[in-house]
Each structure stands twice: as C-alpha cells, then as structure tokens.
A and B are shown apart, each in its own frame.
Chain A
Amino acid sequence: MAASSFSLSQRPEGQSYFAGVDIGSLTAKAVILNEDEIVAHSLIPVTVSPEKIGRAALEEALKAAQLKLEELKYIVATGYGRISAPYAHSTTSEITCHARGAYFLNPKVRTVVDMGGQDCKAIRVGERGQVVDFAMNDKCAAGTGRFLEVLAKVFDVPLDELGPLCLKAEARVPISSTCTVFAESEVISLMAQGEKLENIISGIHLSIARRVVGILSKIGVEKELIFTGGVGKNLGMRKTLEELLEMEMADLNWDPQLVGALGAALIAKGKATRP
C-alpha cells in the first residue's frame, strides 16, 4: 500500500526529514518521514554487526527516498541494537515506539501486542498515544518470533508459510510452549509418528497464543487491539489470538513489522520540532 496515504499535520513550508531505525534480533527496519507523510521504509535481515545492519537499513530507506544522511534532521534508534547506533541522536525503547507507531496508524488503539524475535510485549496505550502500562514475556525464547523460526526450520518450510499452514489444520495437536528446545524435540517425535504438519503447526500457534494471552491478562485488554512486530504478519497467529481473546483485532493496513521504526521516526520528528 502507498505510504503517502498517511498524512501528518500539514505544514505550510519547508521539508525536513526524520528517521526511525529499529534494530531487532532478526531484522533491522528504517522509516523516514517528512513533515507530512511517510517517505520511505526498509527492512533487512540481521547478519552480524548490529551497528552495520542498522546503518544499512537506514541507507536503504535513504536511497528509496533519494535523500542523504545529512538531510535527516533527527534520527531515533530503537530495538536491542539501539545502543550501537552512533548515527542516531537519541534512543527510545521499542515499547514506547510500538505504542506511538500503532497510535499513529490507528488513534483508537488502546492495546498493542508486539511479537518480535526476542520479546513479546503487551502494551496499554493512553488517549494521547502514550504508554500507560506494559508487560513482557519472561526472558526465554518460547513464545517469541525466534520460537517460530526454530520450528519452521524443523518443518523445513519458510517462516511466512507457517501462518497459512496453521489455518489449514483440521485438528490441533497439543504442544508444550515451555521451552524452545523441548518443543523442538516434541515436534520431531510427533512428525515421526506421522502427525499432520498443519495440525502440529496449529498446536504450536495455540501454545504460543496462550502464553501471549497470559501476558495480556496482566495489563488487561481494551479495544482497539493491534498486533505488531514480525509475527504480526502471521495470520494463523492472529486468528488464534482472536479466538482465545474472543475479540477481533483492528486492522493495521500497514506492515506490522515496521511499526517500531515508524514510532521511532515519529518520536524523532517530535524531538526535532519541540527540542
């Protein structure tokens, strides 16, 4: 979808540019704004150096926007790699960024679930887009994007096919979500027993979704609920969460994986205009 469909408050003259860079554990994302709209964005997989990869994401977005680094008035870095972003003027945690990004895309949002590579976060958003409460997973990969990635490798299917496969399931196999390593061996033995792939995948989605609902229950869910982060693209996960929560999620109409970078860019714009 066209990025320009989002309009920021109109300003009569001049074009200033602001960027947000979100350096996660699996991907780096950048979003560039001018004073009115989203100009460009990028997403690249993380290799080794978080510093290089953040910069590479930013450069890709700059290229798409036909801009130079010097033309950016303010840069905010977020994500676990944010501390190694010397080009950024300041840093903000992903929690604040996801709230801001989601609020911009849908001002009615009151709850955000962000599932990234390392973390799952439940965020309550106030009427002005501010964070009013949040809860996160314990420090363990089970229930995060990494969990799905590990299992996609076991099934030998691309990560983005997990969701569609989940939706094709006829039945659900109970899978434990307590530990990524154990879940992997559980899945292998289920496959050896000839269990249908789709059913196992559906079971995995259910077990992760249960964990996420547990985190959400600690802050309480209020409408609208928005699903962001890399796993936000997974329709199977979205449906499973909706089923457990007995409510529908609001549409984002944008790439959920870029919401953190968008929030960072919005914060950058705010910092540049109200120093």
Chain B
Amino acid sequence: MIINHKMEVKDGLLLYPEELKEPFLKTPDLPLRDGTRVSPAEIWHFMTEEGPKKFPFEFSSNPNVRSYKPNVELLSGIKYSYLLLTRRSRVEALRRRGAPLVYVQGGQTTDPYYAAGAIPMRPGNLTGMADYYESVGQNSQERDLKKMASQEEGNRAISMESCHQVHAFSYMRRGILPVDLLAPCTNLRCSDNTYLVDSHRGSPRQTPSFLLDYPVNHEPHKPWVVQYMVQGLHRLVKQIGQLTGRETSDEEFREMIKLLNRGRKLARDFLELWWSAPVPPASSFYLAWVLDLAHDCNADPLAAAQVLEEMYAEAKERMDNSVKGMALAPQPVRIFTCGSCFRPSCYLLDKLGGVLVAMEDRLISPFVNVAEEGNPYENYAKAILAIPLELPTEERALWVVDQVRKSRAQGLLFGYHWGCNFQSAIARMFHDIIKKEAGIPAIVLEQDDLGRTETLQQTRNRLEAFLEMFS
C-alpha cells in the first residue's frame, strides 16, 4: 500500500497519524541481534507514546531542526527511527551481556567489529547517543545549549582547532560515554580522528586503544599492503576478543560479511531504483537513511538488513506506481554531495527544489562488496582498500564523475566540517575537477553546525543560493 501522509502537529511536536497504525501493525516483526524480536505493535507504541515524551527534540515541528521530517512515505521508516531512538537502550543491554562498545572511524565499514561481537560506532553516532543520555525531555534549543557547552569543553581539553568529532571525546572524558575500546581505522578520509585518539591518552578516564592502519598512499593491488592490513585486522579482532573473552572463528567472520553484504546489496539496489526513477520515489531523507543504515547498521546488522529490505520493497512499490517523493518538486534538481562529515538538511534541500541523489561518503557501503568465500581477513582487506573515497584525489574525483553521470546529478556540493584538514585540503581541487570533467555546477561548503540540532543561517544561505542557480 502507498503511504503519503503528513505528520500531525501537536504541542510543537510532529506525531504519526493514527490511520497509519493499522497498516503498520501488518508489517513484520523486527529481529534483533540478541535473538529477540520486537513486534510492530511495540514499535508503534514506542514511537507514538514513549518516544515523543523522552526525546521531544526528535519530533520537533520546528523546520529548522535537522531531524524535521513532516511526512511519512515508507512505513519501514518508522522502524528506522525506532532503531535510532532505542540505540542507547539497545547498546546498554548489549554491553551488559559483554559486547564492548568500540569507537570507529566514520568512513569505514564495520564487518570485523561485528564479527568479533563488538558494537562499532562512529563519532557522530556516539555523540548522538551520549546526547540522549543528556537531553531526555529537552527541546531542541535546550539540547543545543548543552551540546555546545559540551563540545567547547572538548575543544578546551584537546584543541580549539579540532573538528566536531572532539565532542565524542569530551563525553568520554567526562564518563558520560561508556566506550570500551578506541579502535578506528587511521587516515580513512580524516586526520583529526587519530590525533584525537592519541590525545585521549591524557584523559582522566583511560580507554584501551588500537589503530587499524589504513595506509593513505596505497594502491589496492600491492600485495604487501593487503598483508599489512590483514595483520592489523588480526590484532583488532584479538583485541576485541580480550574484552569479550572469546575467540572469533573465520567462519563467524565470513557469516558477518554475508549479512553485511546483504544490507549493502539492498542499499545498492535502492540506489539504482532511486537513480532510474524519473523523479525519486520518496523524500530525500529516505535515501540518507538507507545509505546510513547499510553503512553502520545502527548497532544491529540483523535489524538493519530487515529494515533495508522493507524500505527497498516499499520504495519499489511506489516507483512501480509512478509515485514520487511527497516533498519533491515536479522536476527536482538532482544533488550529489561529496566530502565527508557533511550533511545538508534533507528537508531544506527538498523545499528549495532539490533532491538528494547520492552522498559520496555513504556510497562506500553500497560499492564495497567483500568476497564471501576464502580467507575473510584477506577478502575484507582487499575490499576496503578499494574504497574510491580513499583513492588519490584525481582518481577519486573521476570515479565520482562517473557516478554523477549514472545518477544524472545536476549539481554537486563538496562539503567538509570546520576544522577538517584532510578533506578541506582538496576541496577546491575536487570541485575544479568535477566542474571540468562532469560539466555541472559545484560548490564547496564549510559546515560548522553538524553537532547542532538546528542548522545555521550561514549554511542555509549558501545552500539556498546554490539551488537558485538552477531556477
């Protein structure tokens, strides 16, 4: 059935309309990695009663709030939001059963971590989760005041010139975020991250750490690079094993690769659907959700795969019935975003007459396909060493040019966060290559409000001016 509903506005909150309850209850249970299942009735109850009370900022009816989503187009999106809002309690339950919470890099895939029984989480999600500890019952402004103070505390303790990722460390230093192991990949799209791990040695609360070395100047075919990475992966899995008290077999690693491959394939299929439709079948935020979920699975690869499957099926049905995204203009301007830690407000993008067709840093997952038979360490190392985002800038940009053509993108935003040295360094170069090779307008945006609940005028203004170029 096709859903095209507006959220109901009540007391400054956006709530799910009651008429969605019946169709939602007909959807399948959500299987979780601990072996339990959640019924749609439980999810509906949480998302309409408990959720809005505890986390009003996630339901805000203020259109400037980053999470503002005034419509419902895919019922499975409710499950996505459920996973988001229950992340903290799910992580707590998993930790009680011995699964360590591991800090990873935003640009990396997470197969070995999940395989070894850990909960890998990138800085943005860790910060988001800690916010949930801190901001129960608060509105978006109260929440932002607290978040800004917290981030500043991190900046003072480590460096004023750090990017927003310092926020996660600020929480860890204060014992608000129970991270058991710091084990990100080095270099992957970022340099701040590893220096933050390094500086955490001075934290009042010590956390074991291990850096999985991802050589920056690599060529995927060099055999010694693969071997070096394989050895690092073995160390990583062993280190997690010291926390869980159990060993991980190659078979377990292979099984996890299969499960994550399933999610990644669904994301790839979803993307193809999105690109082949004359106008994408749903509002932009659904694409962002699919790519996010396939990438880090929100602490539960099993649940993630199920939600992705439902999202794909629903989107396909919409497309087969020529239903376009509710918030989209009749001929929206197709926008491709590049760079890392960059996220325009999807609501704003749609409202200004655009539609998101790809996010470079979330295209990693759909295009990573780990071989399922044979040595999982080698297969995994080879697959991640081929991630286009990590290739030399010229090759990376040409890969994007290819995807720009395939997605029929009309405009490209290259973004990075304030304080980022590694992506900002090639922002202009990347932008110039895209304009030259793809022949589409492109701009560079520096974002400094990613940690905030509300987007800032400076960012909005630049986005608005860019979309006006197409009118």
A and B in contact, CB less than 8 Å: yes
Complex CA distance for A93 and B458, rounded to whole angstroms? 11
Is the C-beta of A156 less than 8 angstroms from some C-beta in chain B? Answer: no
With A80-B457, A132-B441, A138-B446 given, is the CB distance from A93 to B428 under 8 Å?
A: no
Q: For residue B428, which residues in chain A have a CB less than 8 angstroms away from its CB?
A: 218
Is the C-beta of B443 less than 8 angstroms from some C-beta in chain A? Answer: yes
Cβ of A52 to closest chain B Cβ, rounded Å? 19
Q: For residue B464, which residues in chain A have a CB less than 8 angstroms away from its CB?
A: 93
Complex CA distance for A88 and B435, rounded to whole angstroms? 35
Interface residues in A43-88 by Cβ distance below 8 A to B read 80, 83
Is the C-beta of A92 less than 8 angstroms from some C-beta in chain B? Answer: yes
Complex CA distance for A92 and B471, rounded to whole angstroms? 11
Q: For residue B448, which residues in chain A have a CB less than 8 angstroms away from its CB?
A: 139
Complex CA distance for A231 and B3, rounded to whole angstroms? 52
> Is B441 touching A133 in the complex (CB atoms < 8 A)?
yes
> Is B446 touching A139 in the complex (CB atoms < 8 A)?
yes
Q: For residue B461, which residues in chain A have a CB less than 8 angstroms away from its CB?
A: 80, 93-94
Complex CA distance for A96 and B462, rounded to whole angstroms? 11
Is the C-beta of B469 less than 8 angstroms from some C-beta in chain A? Answer: yes
> Is A95 touching B441 in the complex (CB atoms < 8 A)?
no
> Is B465 touching A131 in the complex (CB atoms < 8 A)?
yes
Instruction: Pick 7 A–B contacts, CB within 8 A, sort by A.
Output: A92-B468, A93-B461, A94-B465, A95-B468, A134-B443, A134-B466, A218-B444
0/1 per residue, B438-471, Cβ < 8 Å to A?
A: 0001011010100000000110011011101100
> Is A135 touching B468 in the complex (CB atoms < 8 A)?
no
Cβ of A123 to closest chain B Cβ, rounded Å? 9
Q: For residue A130, which residues in chain B have a CB less than 8 angstroms away from its CB?
A: 469
Complex CA distance for A127 and B360, rounded to whole angstroms? 32
Is the C-beta of A272 less than 8 angstroms from some C-beta in chain B? Answer: no
With A133-B441, A218-B428 given, is the CB distance from A95 to B465 under 8 Å?
A: yes
Is the C-beta of A159 less than 8 angstroms from some C-beta in chain B? Answer: no
Complex CA distance for A131 and B428, rounded to whole angstroms? 19
Give 9 nearest A-B pairs by CB, closest first. Answer: A95-B465, A93-B465, A96-B468, A93-B464, A131-B469, A139-B458, A93-B461, A93-B468, A138-B446
Cβ of B425 to closest chain A Cβ, rounded Å? 14
Is the C-beta of A188 less than 8 angstroms from some C-beta in chain B? Answer: no
Cβ of A130 to closest chain B Cβ, rounded Å? 7
A-B contact count (CB 8 A): 37
Q: For residue A218, which residues in chain B have a CB less than 8 angstroms away from its CB?
A: 428, 444
Q: What is the size category of the interface that chain B forms with chain A? A: 10 to 19
Which chain A residue has the least Cβ–Cβ distance from B431?
A: A218
Interface residues in A117-156 by Cβ distance below 8 A to B read 130-136, 138-139
Complex CA distance for A80 and B459, rounded to whole angstroms? 12
Which chain A residue has the least Cβ–Cβ distance from B449?
A: A139
Complex CA distance for A94 and B461, rounded to whole angstroms? 9
Cβ of B406 to closest chain A Cβ, rounded Å? 24
Q: For residue B446, which residues in chain A have a CB less than 8 angstroms away from its CB?
A: 138-139
Cβ of B23 to closest chain A Cβ, rounded Å? 37
With A80-B457, A218-B428 given, is the CB distance from A136 to B468 under 8 Å?
A: no
Cβ of A126 to closest chain B Cβ, rounded Å? 9
Cβ of B298 to closest chain A Cβ, rounded Å? 32
Cβ of A78 to closest chain B Cβ, rounded Å? 10
Q: For residue A138, which residues in chain B have a CB less than 8 angstroms away from its CB?
A: 446
Interface residues in A216-269 by Cβ distance below 8 A to B read 218
Q: For residue A133, which residues in chain B have a CB less than 8 angstroms away from its CB?
A: 435, 441, 443
0/1 per residue, B42-56, Cβ < 8 Å to A?
A: 000000000000000
Which chain A residue has the least Cβ–Cβ distance from B458?
A: A139
Complex CA distance for A139 and B445, rounded to whole angstroms? 11
Complex CA distance for A142 and B41, rounded to whole angstroms? 56
Cβ of B414 to closest chain A Cβ, rounded Å? 12
Complex CA distance for A73 and B448, rounded to whole angstroms? 39
Cβ of B61 to closest chain A Cβ, rounded Å? 17
Cβ of A122 to closest chain B Cβ, rounded Å? 12
Complex CA distance for A139 and B444, rounded to whole angstroms? 13
The interface centre, meaning the residue of B418, B428, B435, B461 with most chain A CB atoms within 10 A of its CB, is B461
Cβ of A263 to closest chain B Cβ, rounded Å? 11
Complex CA distance for A79 and B243, rounded to whole angstroms? 55
Which chain B residue has the least Cβ–Cβ distance from A98?
A: B465
Complex CA distance for A83 and B428, rounded to whole angstroms? 30
Q: For residue B457, which residues in chain A have a CB less than 8 angstroms away from its CB?
A: 80, 83
Q: For residue A135, which residues in chain B have a CB less than 8 angstroms away from its CB?
A: 443-444
Q: For residue A83, which residues in chain B have a CB less than 8 angstroms away from its CB?
A: 457
Complex CA distance for A21 and B150, rounded to whole angstroms? 39
Complex CA distance for A135 and B444, rounded to whole angstroms? 8
Q: For residue A132, which residues in chain B have a CB less than 8 angstroms away from its CB?
A: 441, 469
Q: For residue A96, which residues in chain B have a CB less than 8 angstroms away from its CB?
A: 465, 468-469
Complex CA distance for A183 and B224, rounded to whole angstroms? 52
Complex CA distance for A136 and B466, rounded to whole angstroms? 12
Interface residues in B402-420 by Cβ distance below 8 A to A read 418
Complex CA distance for A140 and B461, rounded to whole angstroms? 15
Which chain B residue has the least Cβ–Cβ distance from A123?
A: B465
Complex CA distance for A37 and B428, rounded to whole angstroms? 41
Which chain A residue has the least Cβ–Cβ distance from B418?
A: A139
Which chain A residue has the least Cβ–Cβ distance from B428?
A: A218
Given contacts A132-B441, A134-B465, 9 further A-B contacts (CB under 8 A): A83-B457, A93-B461, A93-B465, A94-B461, A95-B468, A130-B469, A138-B446, A139-B446, A139-B458
